[in-house]
Structure 1
């Protein structure tokens, strides 16, 4: 607890002592905690969407935008991957087996593996389905 010690300081009865400093360095956790298979699934979903739309709407004008999108996706996942490998990173991402048995810790509590996988993969899967729907509509209209 803390309390005001102004009167004790004035009377010379209080002593101020510095707290001991721990010599240990803090543990650095730069991993994102999820197994890399989920990241590969996410990358595959995004690149799959680009492949579906690129093959459906084959046009030489789309080569540069598609290449830019691929570079953004690779950079978007490659830079954080390099970030986890920096010197001083004390932690490793979960393996798929550990993830299946433990789940993942979040701010609101432990999340079951199935729920975490659904949250991570829902957008890439919906993008692939959207690409398939757009391709189907384009084929039926033409």
Structure 2
């Protein structure tokens, strides 16, 4: 005779979990990248919001720009807080000097520190350049 769903769940939770050991895994969540590069990324993203917010300042944009800024801070702040939770990890993020001296191991091999920093900062810098480009186009169109 087959069991019903309720009996199967009760049997599973009573037997299966009792046999499994509680294994704690130490997971590296730092990606070994220096904190200063993450800070620069946040600053550039907030700079993008500031440039557009000041350059296209209208009362209708105040609330959306504030919401964007809150999301940027939250999306970078939550993982930073998460990293500090629990026991101290065995691994830590590299300092900027260590990154420049030793580079970083990637899936495709060792990447020089300078190249890794440039690769990480290309998108945030291009976004800020895009903000200035939008203001330039808006200025030309309204003139």
Is TM more than 0.5 here? yes
Where on the TM-score scale, by shorter chain, does this alignment land: which range? Answer: 0.7 to 0.9
The structure 1 segments of at least 4 consecutive aligned residues displaced by more than 3 Å after TM superposition are 25-28
What SS class does the counterpart of residue 137 from structure 2 fall into? helix
Unaligned runs of 5+ in 2: 1-23
Q: More helix per residue: 1 or 2?
A: 2
Match of residue 92 from structure 1: 92
What SS class does the counterpart of residue 105 from structure 1 fall into? strand
Check the 8 A contact 1:30/1:83 in 2, yes or no. Answer: no
Task: Provide TM-score, normalisation by structure 1.
Answer: 0.77
CA distance in 2, matches of 1:96, 1:65: 34
Unaligned runs of 5+ in 1: 1-24
Number of corresponding residues: 119
- In angstroms, what is the RMSD of aligned CA positions? 1.6
Task: Provide TM-score, normalisation by structure 2.
Answer: 0.77
Match of residue 65 from structure 1: 64
CA distance in 1, matches of 2:109, 2:126: 27
- Higher alpha-carbon Rg: 1
CA distance in 1, matches of 2:126, 2:61: 22
Structure 1 range deviating more: 25-34 or 106-115: 25-34
Match of residue 122 from structure 1: 122
